[in-house]
Amino acid sequence: MRVLVRPAQYAALALYILFLGFPLLWLISASVKSSGELNSLTVSLLPGEWHWDNYTEALEKQGLVRSAANSLIVALASTALSVVIAVPASYVLARLKGKVRAAGVGWILVSQVFPVVLIILPLYLILRTLGLADNLAGLTLVHTTYMLPFALWMLQGYVAAIPVELEEAGAMDGASRLTVLRTIVFPLLAPGVVATAMFSFVSSWNEFFFALVLLQSPENYTLPITLNMFVGGEGKVALGPLAAGAVLAAIPSIVFFSILRRKLTSGLMAGAVKG
């Protein structure tokens, strides 16, 4: 019996790897198959021959390129915006004690479990009143707002790790608070800001629900919305280019997440345990 434990464990691990990895492998494989092979009834994991045309075809679709550009604009703008406004606030959140901090942390936790469906209707009405519905600027503001709690949470952890003594030393030397922030806190915060920015970028790049509700004109669509349209119009779009488009859309997220892996796990742990 004892002897069988290890092999059984490896068999179980192999099943997990299959479950987690196979869908991804299949998507990538479909993206380099010819349309003949995709439509044939014999199913094979690896393509008979590698076709890169799917990628060029996907890129030739104007909708896809334009919506990728839209996604990029919204993700970059909302990332920049959320970092710029979250850094000062996270400093206060980390250094402040008492009720205000408790309220801030409480809000951050509550916002993680917000019933989006209750918010989306009024949010749509508010943005429409402001003339920002069906508008990339409006979507940017929404993404910024909904990324803020997590950005604040991550950043305040990084601020808390900076010893107050360093700031005090700076203040003793006669530096104003702004100078202390600029010359001592921000440089030490830089790695945290980079991690937060990457996470924000991915959240915005992947986001679907707000974009679906807020954007109505095809020229404003973000990448996830356009990909979804291609799914809806099945038959019109060949499977190969769709798979290629999906792979392209996933690349930035996967690259950033593999860089961020360690930082995110510790951040999430803190959130999960304290939540």
Q: Which of residues 33-62 bind another protein (CB under 8 A)?
A: 38-41, 43, 45
Contacts (CB under 8 A) with another protein, residues 96-115? 96-97, 100, 107, 111-115
Provide CB contacts within 8 A for 65, sequence distance 6+. Answer: 59
Least distance in Å: CB of 14 to another protein? 9
Single residue of 64, 75, 91, 157 touching another protein by CB under 8 A: 91
34 or 228: whose CB is closer to another protein? 228
What's the burial of 271, exposed, middle or buried (CB within 10 Å: 0-12/13-18/19+)?
middle
Stretch that binds another protein, among 47-55, 61-69, 187-195, 224-232 (CB under 8 A): 224-232
Segment contacting another protein by CB under 8 A, of 50-58, 62-70, 184-192, 246-254: 246-254
The site string for another protein over 159-198 (x = CB under 8 A, - otherwise) reads -----x--xx--xx-xxxxx--------------------
Region from 46-54, 56-64, 83-91, 188-196 binding another protein, contact rule CB under 8 A: 83-91
Pick between residue 190 and residue 269 the one whose CB is nearest to another protein: 269
Binder of another protein out of 4, 99, 236, 272 (CB under 8 A): 272
Q: Within 114-133, which residues bind another protein (CB under 8 A)?
A: 114-123, 125-126
Question: From the list 55, 146, 150, 158, which residue makes contact with another protein (rule: CB under 8 A)?
Answer: 146
Residues forming beta bridges with residue 234, ordered by sequence position: 237
- Rule CB under 8 A: say whether 21 interacts with another protein: yes
Closer to another protein by Cβ: residue 45 or 62: 45
Single-letter amino acid, residue 45: L
Give min distance, CB of 73 to another protein, in A.
Answer: 17
Exactly one of 64, 83, 195, 227 binds another protein (CB under 8 A); which one?
227
